[in-house]
Structure 1
Amino acid sequence: MLLATAAIVIGVALLIWGADRFVDGAASVAKNLRVPPMVIGLTIVSLGTSLPEMIVAAMAALDGNRDLGIGNVLGSNIANIGLVLGITALIMPLAVQSMTLRREIPVLLLVTFLAFALFADGELSRIDGIVLLIGLVLMLAWITRIGMKDRHDPMVEEFTESIPEQMSMKSSILWFIVGLILLIISSRMVVWGAVEIAHYLGVSDLIIGLTIVAIGTSLPELVASVASALKGEADIALGNVIGSNMFNLLAVLAMPGLIHPGIFAQEALLRDFPIMLGFTVALLIVSLGFKVGGKINRLEGGLLTAGFFAYLYLLYLQA
């Protein structure tokens, strides 16, 4: 039990650090190939927030644990809205000013409904995985097109500024490879530790994915969102969560379907997916409101946080 817990803690830390190195290397390679900075920021850098979940889901699927990867996606999306945005709004109310962001929130809801429709038959197939990947490509193209059009949008400018400094092609490729190796090793540690703890406690891989693994891989979003809110960059805090949730549903959820398709635990469809959908609808209501210039105030942040802990309590009762 102690060894498995240590594997998860160290694995998550290495996973986050490795993802940063991988994104730095990939972004620098793209820069050396003269890809426009805005395109790099809106694709490679934004995709990096979901990289830990993606690698964990892929490794879990390779080991035959598709429920762990699915639980990681659903749990991370619930944690991103309930825990990350809830705590961030408690610290600093979040005003939604970015037009790009106001367009992305309804798209997140549509992506959630798409994933739910694919899940409805109780099986995640390779066709489902391919559909999700096509959706990912279309979403990246749409975000890039919007970003190139609204160059002075605060969120677009922030993503562009977040691109790491350019390195030589040799250094870029080195960090890209180092990051990739770390991602593979650390994800194996996390998956092994999670499965061991699940067996020790007598609970399902789905429950461990929804809780320990999901919260661990959501920590970067929590740190980034709180830091952005304290700097008065509410749009960035919100953008990190919305982007992460869309990438989770399209890129991460595709991994179990492509690598290890099959029937998944029905609790994911009957309990966790509706709860994730409910949190997404709540985000739409509190952030956009019914007027121009939505705002997530401290009361709403408190309700989101309370909802997240109520969800954890429900999992505890059922487990």
Structure 2
Amino acid sequence: MSPIILIVIFCTSLIGVIRAADIFVDRIVDIGRALGISQIILGVTVAAAGTSLPEFGSAMISVLTGSPELGVGVVIGSNIWNIAGIIGISAILSCAVTTNRDEIRRDGLFGLLSILILSYFMLMGPIGPLTGAVLLSVYGVYLLILIKKQRKYYTSHLIEGGDAGWKTITTAILSFVGLVVFCRVLVYSAVEIAGVLHIPEMIVGLFALAIGTSLAELVVAVNSARKHMCSLSLGTVLGSNIFNILIGIGVPSLFVKIPVEPLSVVLDAPILIAVTVIVMYFMWTDMELRRVEGVVLLIIYIIYAALRIATTS
């Protein structure tokens, strides 16, 4: 199959993944409300998972269909792009990237903890069920802390129940099926593009899939910044990164051993740790990211991308 056709398939399936994930999350929220599930639980689970669902789906399909390096690349690459790319571009476009000290202490520290734990297991060799169990346990602790924090702001935790309706349930099922199918096609086209163009799968995961699956967040940030209406929360980005690592790698590693590329240990993981620390440092003073700091983050990402491609080719 020609590279042009594969690229068209890749782009089409990418749009399908993003749209299917968006519809699925909306319908799950509707069903949760109808069943009387706590607003707190919906907020810290569905909302967090929703922004990471394209990355998670792509990573899961990659690992379970025999392209584990692609899956690891999606997770790590997406996290680096979220922090250095999306936050950097948002700040450059005068989009206020805000936070508070609680978010830095909680989400920042858990973000660092998650990548440090993953890095430790990556040093040990292939990522297996033990790593998955540890990562999922850490996410469980993080979830409990979030729920406890949310309870301080709500006096009522349950939403009045109701009937979700067959249309809502059917749409949720169909959108989930669509998400799986589109993710499968996305991963297939990515693998084929890598083969035809002789590009390592890890590179495709780190950049094409990682940036592609985060495209929705980037578009929202850019469009909002153009209208001077953007306020991007650092906690949201860090929360998404935490989910990507602890769930995005934790869940598939329970079923399949994921090989670790040496360059990921010595370059990708350290870069992710570094940009997380840099952003936390930048924002600790006045809880907001300035334009010049956004430029620094974007330059770091460009240097990282160039270095990663050069050392792989």
The one-letter code of the counterpart of 1:37 is Q
Contact map agreement 2:95 2:229 (CA 8 A) in 1: no
Choose which of 113, 127, 130 in structure 2 pairs with 1:110.
113
Choose which of 297, 306, 311 in structure 2 pairs with 1:313.
306
The 3-state SS of whatever aligns with 1:149 is coil
Q: Scaled by the length of structure 1, what TM-score is found?
A: 0.88
Choose which of 36, 39, 57 in structure 2 pairs with 1:37.
39
Choose which of 286, 289, 296 in structure 2 pairs with 1:303.
296
Aligned pairs for 1:267-278 (under 5 A) are: 267-278=263-274
TM-aligned CA deviation for residue 275 of structure 1 = 1.0
Contact map agreement 1:226 1:237 (CA 8 A) in 2: no
**2:208 matched residue in structure 1:** 212
Distance 2:60 2:97 in 1: 36
Aligned pairs for 1:60-209 (under 5 A) are: 60-92=62-94, 94=96, 96-102=98-104, 103-151=106-154, 168-209=164-205
Distance 1:221 1:167 in 2: 31
The one-letter code of the counterpart of 2:55 is E
**2:29 matched residue in structure 1:** 27
The 3-state SS of whatever aligns with 2:83 is helix
Gapped regions of structure 2 (runs ≥ 5): none
Cα shift readout 1:188-229 (whole Å, capped 9, x = no counterpart): 111011111111222221111001001101112213334565
Distance 1:137 1:170 in 2: 32
TM-aligned CA deviation for residue 254 of structure 1 = 1.6
TM-aligned CA deviation for residue 306 of structure 1 = 1.0
The one-letter code of the counterpart of 2:135 is L
Provide the alpha-carbon RMSD of the alignment. 2.3
**1:155 matched residue in structure 2:** none
Distance 2:222 2:151 in 1: 27
Contact map agreement 2:69 2:258 (CA 8 A) in 1: no
The answer to whether the aligner puts 1:251 opposite 2:247 as a matched pair is: yes
Contact map agreement 2:99 2:283 (CA 8 A) in 1: no
The 3-state SS of whatever aligns with 1:295 is coil
Give the structure with the larger helix fraction: 1
Q: How many residues align?
A: 304
Distance 2:48 2:208 in 1: 24
1:228–1:110: structure 2 CA closer, same or farther, 3 Å change rule?
Answer: farther
Q: Scaled by the length of structure 2, what TM-score is found?
A: 0.90
**2:276 matched residue in structure 1:** 280
Contact map agreement 1:57 1:255 (CA 8 A) in 2: no
Cα shift readout 1:163-187 (whole Å, capped 9, x = no counterpart): xxx9733222112101111111110
Contact map agreement 2:49 2:240 (CA 8 A) in 1: yes
Distance 2:163 2:7 in 1: 36
Aligned pairs for 1:207-246 (under 5 A) are: 207-226=203-222, 232=229, 234=231, 236-246=232-242
